[in-house]
């Protein structure tokens, strides 16, 4: 059985950083998007976002997925929500 993966869709990302804050609270007891395993690269001028995950360190806890209300994150083996 392969490792679970988190599927990311930059096009749906709103830039809210809820995933990164949730990840850092879960892992470090501090709200800090600079420290989280999921990160956003933000182009502010165009309001575009690129989501990346440090897969080496990620605990696959799913907190980021639960925090995302824009359907930009899901387990790879689950169907996309609309």
CB of 32 to ligand SF4, least distance (A): 12
Among 1, 11, 81, 82, binds other proteins (CB under 8 A): 11
Neighbours of 13 (CB within 10 A): 22
Q: Are 28 and 22 in contact (CB under 8 A)?
A: no
Is there a contact between 34 and 22 (Cβ–Cβ < 8 Å)? no
Point out which residues bind ligand SF4 (CB under 6 A): 13-19, 22-23, 26-27, 36-38, 40, 49, 51, 53, 58-64, 67-68, 70, 72-73
82 touching other proteins, by CB under 8 A: no
Task: Report if residue 62 touches other proteins, rule: CB under 8 A.
Answer: no
The radius of gyration computed from the CA coordinates of the chain, to the nearest angstrom, equals 12
Q: Is the dihedral of CA 69, 18, 15, 8 positive or negative?
A: negative
Positions touching other proteins (CB under 8 A) are 11-12, 14-18, 21-22, 24-26, 28-35, 41-42, 44-47, 67, 69-70
């Amino acid at each position: 059985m392969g490792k679970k993966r988190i599927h990311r869709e930059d096009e749906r990302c709103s830039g809210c950083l809820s995933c990164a804050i949730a990840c850092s609270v879960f892992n470090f007891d501090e709200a800090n998007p600079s420290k989280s395993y999921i990160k956003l690269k933000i182009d502010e001028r165009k309001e575009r976002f690129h989501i990346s995950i440090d897969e080496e360190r990620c605990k696959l806890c799913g907190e980021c997925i639960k925090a995302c209300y824009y359907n930009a994150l899901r387990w790879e083996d689950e169907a996309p929500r609309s």
